[in-house]
Amino acid sequence: MAVKLEKPDQYQEFLDKFDVFLFDCDGVLWNGNEPLPGVKKTMELLRSSGKHVFFVSNNSTKSREDYKKKINAHEIEAKLEEIYPSAYSSAIYVKKVLKLPEDKKVFVLGEGGIESELDRVGVKHTGGTDASLRRAVNSDDLNNVRPDPSVGAVLCGMDRHVTYLKYCMAYQYLQDPNCAFLLTNQDSTFPTNGTFFPGSGSISYPLIFSTGRTPKVLGKPNDEMMEAIVAGVNFDRKKACFVGDRLNTDIQFAKNSGLGGSLLVLTGVSQENEFLEKDAPVVPDYYINSLGDLAKVA
Amino acid sequence: MAVKLEKPDQYQEFLDKFDVFLFDCDGVLWNGNEPLPGVKKTMELLRSSGKHVFFVSNNSTKSREDYKKKINAHEIEAKLEEIYPSAYSSAIYVKKVLKLPEDKKVFVLGEGGIESELDRVGVKHTGGTDASLRRAVNSDDLNNVRPDPSVGAVLCGMDRHVTYLKYCMAYQYLQDPNCAFLLTNQDSTFPTNGTFFPGSGSISYPLIFSTGRTPKVLGKPNDEMMEAIVAGVNFDRKKACFVGDRLNTDIQFAKNSGLGGSLLVLTGVSQENEFLEKDAPVVPDYYINSLGDLAKVA
C-alpha cells in the first residue's frame, strides 16, 4: 500500500529514513525544459542535510557531461560521478561485462551520448551520428550490407535520425549469433515539450521483431544499471530511495535492485489510478504530488 | 501430414483437384529479380488447362498496375483483376468497411503502392511519399505535431524512407481513439536480393509498442485479404488452392479462409524442417521443391 506524503512531518520522517537518494530526471526534476517549482530548494535541502544524491536516467541521447550541463542549467548541483545515464551504463557493460575484444566494434543505432561514453571507455564504434547513413537505401546497399565479423555488438538507443538503412545494417549484423544485441533502455515513449513521442524501446522494435532476438536491456529497471552505479560508488542499498515518475522503470528499478524505498512523483508519466487499483503490478512505497513539496518540511 | 509432390503422376493428380490457384509472388514465381526455372511453363500449363489464376501479395510497395508490369516482365500472363497486393486490400478496407468520411484523410506510413490504390478508390491521403517528411524532427515539429481530427486512419506498410518525424506524426494521430490503426501486413522481413531486410510488420512496431494499440492487419493471413478478393470475383473456395513460400502467411491464409488446399514451395522463406517437426503450428497440405516442377507433368 503506497503512502501519500502530504504534510511537513511526513516529509521529515521520510527524509530521515534514507541516506541516499537516486533521482530520475525528466518528469521529476523538470518537464522538458521547464523547471518544476520547489525542486531546486528540495535538492539544496538534501545536500545541506548530508544526503548522497545520484541522477539516473534512461535517456541515452546524452553523455554524463551533457547531463551535468543540463542539471546545472536548472541550478541544481551535480558532480560528474553522481550522474548515470543509460549511455554510460551501456558503455560500462560493453567494456566490463561483454569485454568486447579490441579488434571488434559496436554498431550504434543511437545518438551522440552513446558515442561519447563508448569513446570514454575506449570502445570502437560505427553508425551512430554518421551523417552518411541518413539517406535512403540504394541497390548497392541491398547487395553489400551483410553480416560483418568486425561488428561485435549492435547497441540500440534513442535515435531521432533513424533510417531504414540503419535498420538494414543492424538487422544483417544481428544475423551473426556472436554479435551481441544490446538496448540502452526499453522506454516506449520519450517525453518532449509536454507531450510524448516514440522512445528508445519503440525505435528498437523493428530489430526485435525482424531478428526474433531478445536484446539485453541495460537501463532501468534492469540490474545492469545498478551494477554500473555500484561499480563507481558503494552504499547501503537499504538506506537508499529511488525517486521517479514511471512505475515500470523507476519504481520497478528500486524493487529489482533491492533498494530500501521508492518514491513516485506525480509530475510525470504515471498517475495515482495506476497503482491504487487492485492488482496493480507495481506499487511505490511512497508518493507525492511534486518533488518540490519536500522542501516544505517544517 | 504434408504430402510431398515428387513425380509426374502426383503433379497431375494435384492439378486435377483444383479449379483455382492463388499465388504468392516473391519466393514462388521469382526470387528478387531472378526468375525461377520452369515457372513460366507451369503458369502456361495452368492457363491452357482452363484454371483460374490469382496473384496475392503482402508487398505493399506496389499497386496492382506495378505488379502487373512486374509479373508480365517475367513473361507470365496476368490481368489487372487477377492481382491482389496488400495495398489494394487495404484501400478496399478503408473505402468499404471503414467507410472513411469524405472530410477525413488517411496518414500513410508507406510507399507509392498504397497511395495509388487509395487514389483509385477516391480516399484522400497524406504522408506516404511526401519528400518533405524525409528529414529530421525539429523543435517546431515537437511543438506542433499533435492529434489531428482530419486524420481518420493511420495506414502503415513497408516504408524504406521511414523517419522519426513520420513515427512522431503517426504516434500523435493515434492518440485519438477515433483514428483507426491499420497495417497492410505483418511480415517481419522483406526478401531482397537473395537475403532479407526488415519488413512491413517490423517497420510498424514502433507505433504498436509506443501507442499500446493493436492494428487491424489487412494482408495475409487475415481474412480481410480474402474479402477483398471475393469482392471482385466469386469462386468455390473448396476448389481453390493457395501456393506460397511462407507458412505463417501463405499457408495460414489458406486455412483461415477455408480454401480446399495449400501448396508450399521450398524456393523461398519456409523450409521442410519447420513443418515436418512434431507440433508444427502450420502444416501445408502439399509441398514441392519448386513451382517449376509442376510443368514436368506427364
Q: Regarding beta strands A216-217 and B52-57, do their DSSP bridges make them parallel or antiparallel, or are they unpaired?
A: unpaired
Q: What angle, 0 to 180 degrees and rounded to 10, lies between the N-to-C axes of helices A64-73 and A112-121?
A: 120
Q: How far apart are CA A40 and CA A119, in angstroms?
A: 32
**Residues A207/A213/A216/A219 CA torsion (nearest 10 deg):** 40
Q: Is the dihedral of CA B290, B291, B294, B296 positive or negative?
A: negative
A189: left (phi over 0), alpha (psi -120 to 50) or beta: beta
Predicted pLDDT of residue B230: 87
Ordered by start, the domain boundaries in chain A are 100-217
Question: Is the pLDDT confidence value at A162 over 70?
Answer: yes
Whether CATH 3.40.50.1000 fits A100-217: yes
pLDDT over 70, % of chain A: 100
Min Cα–Cα distance to chain A from B237, Å: 32
How would you label B9-45 residue by residue, b for 16+ Cβ within 10 Å and e otherwise?
ebbeebbeebbbbbbbbbbbbbbeeeebebbbebbeb
* DSSP code for A24: -
Min Cα–Cα distance to chain A from B94, Å: 25
- Per-residue pLDDT of A233-280, as tens digits, reads 889 999 999 999 999 999 999 999 999 999 999 999 999 999 998 899
How would you label A224-263 residue by residue, b for 16+ Cβ within 10 Å and e otherwise?
bbbbbbeeeeeeeeeebbbbbbbbbbbbbbbeebebbbbb
- Per-residue pLDDT of B58-105, as tens digits, reads 999 999 999 999 999 999 999 999 999 999 999 999 999 999 999 999
Residues in chain B predicted with pLDDT less than 50, given as ranges, are none
Considering only the beta carbons, identify the residue of A142, A162, A212 that sits closest to B164. Answer: A162
Q: Is B26 a catalytic residue?
A: yes
Per CATH, B3-58+221-296 and B91-217 having the same topology is answered: yes
Interface test with B, best of A111, A154, A210 (most B CBs within 10 A): A210
Give the bridge partners for A106, in sequence order: A125, A153
A121: left (phi over 0), alpha (psi -120 to 50) or beta: alpha
Residue whose C-alpha cell reads 544483417 in the numeric block: A172
Predicted pLDDT of residue B31: 87
Alpha carbon separation from B105 to A65, A124, B120, B283 (Å, rounded): 45, 47, 14, 40
Active-site residue, from A24, A187, A250, A293: A24
pLDDT band at A298 (very low <50, low <70, confident <90, very high): low
Q: Is B103 a catalytic residue?
A: no
| Cβ A30 vs Cβ A39: under 8 Å | yes
Considering only the beta carbons, identify the residue of A160, A171, A208 that sits closest to B164. Answer: A160
Is A273 marked within a binding site? no
The single-letter code of the amino acid at A281 is: P
- Per-residue pLDDT of A175-186, as tens digits, reads 999 999 999 999
Enter the CATH code of domain B91-217: 3.40.50.1000
CA-nearest of A41, A123, A76, A98 to A296 is A41
Question: Is the pLDDT confidence value at A131 over 90?
Answer: yes
pLDDT band at A192 (very low <50, low <70, confident <90, very high): confident
Largest interatomic CA distance in chain A = 69
- Per-residue pLDDT of A196-243, as tens digits, reads 999 999 999 999 999 999 999 999 999 999 988 988 788 999 999 999
| Superfamily, domain B3-58+221-296 | HAD superfamily/HAD-like (3.40.50.1000)
Interface test with A, best of B188, B209, B213 (most A CBs within 10 A): B209
Predicted pLDDT of residue B298: 64
The answer, yes or no, to whether ipTM is higher than 0.85 is yes
